[in-house]
Amino acid sequence: MNGIIHFDLDSARPPREEVLAAQELPPAGALSPRLRDLLEEAFAEFDARAEPRAIAGELSLAELEEVLDGFDGPVEETVIGQIYPKGEAFALYVATLGTPLAERIRELFANNDLGRGWMLDAVASSGADRLSDLLAARFESELNGRGHPMSRVLPYSPGYCGWTVSGQRKLFARLRPAEVGVTLNDSCLMTPIKSVSGVLVAGPGEIHRFRPDFAFCDECKTRACGARMASVLKR
Ligand code: SF4
């Protein structure tokens, strides 16, 4: 799980139902004609402009601890801080859908084409999240091939579940994702937008189980950790 990875569009393109659910919209069959047109236009734009790729690098537990040491908060009070000590293998990653797609979203909003901008942004957001899942599946498959058939991999990212975005600095310093065209600004936000980053943690499904009762959980709208845990515990 080292080096640059290029994804084909068929893999990176998010399912329509996933995009709609993330926007709390009804299924495609129940959309108004206007929304259905916007959705199809957005997928056509995605296919025309997305350049999905990633850079990843495996690292040891000690090396990961060095990366996690660099953000403004106690790592023990984060989800990643509870999970990584139980992990058996780790890989840092940064993935992106590339500049042309990000530029098109910016252009639509700049032109006040809000409907098209919003729908393309929604498709691209789901597509970017999908890259993390594709990398997790790839790492899991590699580990299985190396004789670890029970390994289950989940991605954990700065900016979520207590790991603040300032954690990006050490992650970027180690991985150097400029090679795939992703840079970090002073606020630790990635350019181009629609890029994702994090650490893939591998081990038996049970290592990903935790109780979501941190102080920051009170403000969580998605409660996405429940489905994530279930996805590795049920296999
Ligand atoms: S409830 Fe939300 S913030 Fe808390 S661990 Fe789950 S996903 Fe993260």
- The full DSSP string for 181-230 is T-EE-TTS-EESSSEEEEEEEEE-GGGG-----SGGGGG-SS-THHHHHH
From the CB of 220, is ligand 1 less than 6 Å away?
yes
pLDDT at 150 (0 to 100):
87
pLDDT at 216 (0 to 100):
95
- pTM (2 d.p.): 0.95
From the CB of 161, is ligand 1 less than 6 Å away?
yes
- Rounded CA-CA distance 98/207 in Å is 33
CA angle 116, 45, 138 (to 5 degrees): 120
Closest CA to 123 of 14, 9, 2: 14
- Rounded CA-CA distance 35/200 in Å is 35
**Cα–ligand 1 centroid distance for 215 (angstroms):** 10
From the CB of 210, is ligand 1 less than 6 Å away?
no
Amino acid at 126: S
Amino acid at 47: D
pLDDT at 165 (0 to 100):
94
**Cα–ligand 1 centroid distance for 31 (angstroms):** 30
Q: Check: CB of residue 190 under 8 Å from CB of residue 93.
A: no
pLDDT at 73 (0 to 100):
78
pLDDT at 1 (0 to 100):
87
Structural domains of the chain in order of their starting residue, each with its CATH number: 3-233 (3.40.109.40)
**Cα–ligand 1 centroid distance for 228 (angstroms):** 10
Tell me which of 222, 228, 229, 231 to substitute to probe ligand 1's pocket, judged by most ligand atoms within 8 Å of the beta carbon: 222
Mean pLDDT (10-residue bins), the chain, 235 residues:
96 97 93 96 98 98 93 88 96 98 98 98 98 98 92 96 94 96 96 98 96 95 94 86
